[in-house]
Structure 1
Amino acid sequence: MGAAPGRQVEVRHIMGTAVSIHALTAPGADVDARPAMEACFAELREADRVFSPYREDSDISRIRRGELTIEQAAPDVAEVAAACSQWEESTQGRFSARWRGGFDPTGYVKGWAVERAAVRHLAPLVLQPGVIAAGINAGGDIQLFTADDSDWVWHVGIADPGRPGEVVATVDVRNGAVATSGSAERGRHIIDPRTGEPVDHVVSATVVGDGLAAADVWATAAAVAGFDDLSWLAGADTRMGILLDGAGRVRRWTGATPVSVQPASVGVPA
């Protein structure tokens, strides 16, 4: 067995959650990933400054107070607004940035910002000699990269809400994103924008995809749709996904094909 790779890790609290960045290097490699990590953190802080609904001085707060229009705001705001409109159409209203009487893209921004920052600053890391892989985890939403000449695989555990500290499945990812939504971690915080009512029939919805922005939207849409409704799946570009409901059932799909429904206690193969 070869020597374990080196691991450089930095953690910051940004966008209301813990954000950790990991860089794996070949044994003995003289690589400093910290500049790329700090650049990634800086970009996320700027996204928080512009988009946070909890900051009185953010562009989003000013828009919601009528002090600023989307066109007058930072250019990223118009980009996000356009993307949210497209996602509302794609999810048939299961996702929306306008359900609370104003523009609030909170449900989209974190995944979008993390993916964008990771692609800009972490993806180039794995092109450097001696770097095996790099990834970012923002409150359980993950974007991962692996060097083409490496056999490294990220093993991502999907938490079992009914058994704290346990996982219901492990997903292997080389390059891609994993997003989880639902009521297990934060309670009934997901709202069905079509009704304005909180949803709790799915305690955890995990989606694996190419990019975190899309994976995060589809995880939210899956939670809103509910455990028994996969009618949205045919129009979604996901690699795989897992739903867990409050009764302990697990539903799994691969691509656009439902695979199985089973009790959570049985577990789900990776």
Structure 2
Amino acid sequence: MSRPPRLVEVAEIMGTAISIHVVGDPDRTAFEAAVAACFDELRFVDRVFSPYRDDSDVLRIARGELAMTDASPWVAEVAEACARAEADTGGLFTAWWAGVFDPTGFVKGWSVERAAHRHLAPLLTERGVLAAGINAGGDLQLLTAPAADWVWNVAIVDPADRSRVLATLPVRDGAVATSGTAERGAHIVDPRSGTPATGVVSATVAVAGLAHADVWATAAVVAGPDDLSWISRAGRSTGLLVDDTGRIRRWLDGVEVQVRASIAG
């Protein structure tokens, strides 16, 4: 059986490559409109939340130039969601490190999940469209038409050898996020100690929505390689963690199912 066609559009937004994928043969006008709406929304999110744009709402709030109540309504929405995430993770995730509101670790997943459901999901009602998704720097929000015989097969790569696949996750509708030190070094601060979180090279979490997946991937890095007590609080999550010794820990729906002493083992 031949593979169905796939349309892909890519843009650089939020400092990363964001690609939109539609599997099947959609109406081209509808496809182009959906892609433009997704990218426009994500660019607006970047203007509101970017920690690198002097005119972003978040930096203006941090400088005392803008009250949160006068900012984009999305700021209050994100702040409320971040407060819930901090409570749910027991403080492993926070958007208020050092007393400054910085939702960088939440906004990308939240905005991509939102854009996918708002602008790509309607394409799934078209005849001939099997699936649609967004890849934001390796973090994925994936959708499949209800009647389609389609599954996204998401590869989890070896952080020490990007040509090697450690596992493949089949996803129809859901999200996959990865965090850790492999790509950007020890860039995640443990809010409990104020020091960079180390020990977890790669933590991949698969759940229904990318905002949730991003939060718990961050929490996994902060918790460290020896503490998986948090997975019972993460809902119906599946994932895989690789520590700096090469040990792999894997779980399914909140229950650890595999430990390997090393990637090579």
Q: TM-score, normalised by structure 1?
A: 0.95
Q: Aligned residue for 1:5?
A: 4
The answer to whether the Cα contact below 8 Å between 2:186 and 2:198 also exists between their aligned partners in 1 is yes
- 1:22 equivalent to 2:21? Answer yes
Rounded Cα–Cα distance in structure 2 between residues aligned with 1:30 and 1:64: 44
Rounded Cα–Cα distance in structure 2 between residues aligned with 1:92 and 1:206: 19
- SS of match in other structure, 1:71: helix
The answer to whether the Cα contact below 8 Å between 2:231 and 2:237 also exists between their aligned partners in 1 is no
What letter is aligned with 1:95? F
What whole-Å deviation, never above 9, does each CA across 1:124-161 have from its counterpart, x for those lacking one?
A: 11111111110100001100011111111111111211
Q: Aligned residue for 2:151?
A: 153
Q: How does 1:229-248 map to 2 (within 5 A)?
A: 229-248=227-246
- 1:172 equivalent to 2:166? Answer no
The answer to whether the Cα contact below 8 Å between 1:31 and 1:130 also exists between their aligned partners in 2 is no
Rounded Cα–Cα distance in structure 2 between residues aligned with 1:100 and 1:259: 37
What letter is aligned with 1:265? A
The farther-off stretch of 189-198 and 158-167 is 158-167
Q: Aligned residue for 1:196?
A: 194
Q: CA deviation at 1:196?
A: 1.2
Q: Aligned residue for 1:42?
A: 40
Gaps of 5+ in 1: none
Q: Aligned residue for 2:67?
A: 69
What whole-Å deviation, never above 9, does each CA across 1:100-124 have from its counterpart, x for those lacking one?
A: 3311010100000110011100111
Q: How does 1:1-270 map to 2 (within 5 A)?
A: 1=1, 3-26=2-25, 30-32=27-29, 33-262=31-260, 263-266=262-265
Compute the RMSD of aligned alpha carbons. 1.1
The answer to whether the Cα contact below 8 Å between 2:68 and 2:75 also exists between their aligned partners in 1 is yes
Q: Percent identity?
A: 60
What whole-Å deviation, never above 9, does each CA across 1:47-69 have from its counterpart, x for those lacking one?
A: 00000010000000100101111
Rounded Cα–Cα distance in structure 2 between residues aligned with 1:164 and 1:44: 28
The answer to whether the Cα contact below 8 Å between 1:207 and 1:238 also exists between their aligned partners in 2 is no
Q: TM-score, normalised by structure 2?
A: 0.96
Moved over 4 A (4+): 29-32
Q: CA deviation at 1:31?
A: 4.4
Rounded Cα–Cα distance in structure 1 between residues aligned with 2:9 and 2:80: 33
Larger helix proportion of the pair:
2
Q: CA deviation at 1:34?
A: 1.7
- SS of match in other structure, 2:161: coil
- SS of match in other structure, 1:177: strand
- SS of match in other structure, 2:37: helix
Gaps of 5+ in 2: none
- SS of match in other structure, 1:126: helix
